[in-house]
Amino acid sequence: MSRYYQVKKVKIPSTGRDIRLLVFIPKKNKRPKEETPGILWIHGGGFLTGMPEMIYFTRGLSLVRKYGAVVVTPAYRLSGEAPYPAALDDCYSALKYLKEHADELDFNPDKIMVGGESAGGGLTASVCMCARDKGEVNVAFQMPLYPMLDDRDTDSSRDNKAPVWNTKRNHKAWKIYLGGLWQKEVPVYAAPARQEDYSNLPPAYTFVGDIEPFYCETLTYVEKLREAGIEANVDVYPKWFHAYDLYFPFSKMGKQAIAEFEKRYLYAAEHYSAAQSKKEG
């Protein structure tokens, strides 16, 4: 048991079946409700692997432990069990849970954020697009870290042989996730890089390494947000392969990336908000 937070395990309905959530509620560093964000944090794993307990060694946990945010992380359906749109449906259901339980969890519903690494970063973008289009939850800030956004090859994902994640693994992951949609007409919610309308999406921060497959799609995502008038920032780390910060968090550049991420989060927590409409999700 942590002295910094308590963890609740809950089940919520999604499409097809119930899903499990881990809900992290701060005990120390607790801020006044009006200053406390509620964050949906989505684990990575190429849509094919992973679990919400990964938060214990990823960027999401520090937002609770060090900065007093409320964080929810879902056990979304993996693509081996159910292809798109199951994972997105589950993550969106978790987002709605977050909004609907803001009073109970004691955070400001106008400071809802979404973040995650890798496939979780791709689902972050998808959830934000879905939330914008449905109009049920307004998201104040997004943190799609080295996100998996594009089912098509880019200059950096084509013929990539970097450690951890490469072209071969990327093709396999997308093929399983998309199922019958593979190499067909792919919806923007499945592969957010196919989106053409970036207006009214939340401000964003991300970072990425320059030798990993998702380098180009990450930069393109930030560029298109900026073209739509959305504040978006990216830090690029030289010679970083995929998820470098998780493998080497105590390296010089790892510490730098984590510190910059937390600095950007704190700025967003202070400066960004998105008032919730009275429409019930």
**Band (157; pLDDT cuts 50, 70, 90):** very high
pLDDT higher than 50, residue 278: yes
On whether the pTM is more than 0.95, the answer is yes
Q: Where are the alpha helices (DSSP H) in 139-214?
A: 167-178
Closest of 223, 91, 201 to residue 154, by C-alpha: 223
At 111-136, the pLDDT tens digits run 999 999 999 999 999 999 999 999 99
What is the distance between the alpha carbons of residues 264 and 272, in angstroms, rounded to a whole number?
A: 11
Would you state the pLDDT for residue 14?
97
The SS3 assignment for 141 reads strand
In one letter, which amino acid is 199? S
CB atoms within 10 A of CB 129: 21
Which structure tokens are listed for 135? 């109009």
Question: How far apart are the C-alpha atoms of 233 and 235, rounded to whole Å?
Answer: 7
Confidence of residue 280 (pLDDT cuts 50, 70, 90): very low
Give mean pLDDT, residues 156-176.
98
Helix (H) or strand (E) holding 206: strand 204-209
Q: What is the pLDDT at residue 16?
A: 85
Q: In terms of DSSP H, where are the helices of the chain?
A: 60-65, 86-100, 102-105, 119-134, 167-178, 215-227, 244-247, 252-271
pLDDT for position 281: 41
pLDDT of residue 237: 98
Q: What is the pLDDT of residue 1?
A: 73
Structure confidence by residue, pLDDT tens digits, 75-108: 999 999 999 999 999 999 999 999 999 999 999 9
User: What is the length of the chain?
Assistant: 281
Domain ranges of the chain: 5-271
Give the tokens for residue 5.
């937070």
pLDDT tens, residue by residue, 169-221: 999 999 999 999 988 899 999 999 999 999 999 999 999 999 999 999 999 99
Measure the CA–CA gap between 236 and 51, rounded to whole angstroms.
27
Whole-number mean pLDDT of the chain? Answer: 96
Rounded CA separation 7/196 (Å) = 39
Architecture of domain 5-271: 3-Layer(aba) Sandwich (3.40)
Angstrom distance (rounded) from CA 95 to CA 116? 13
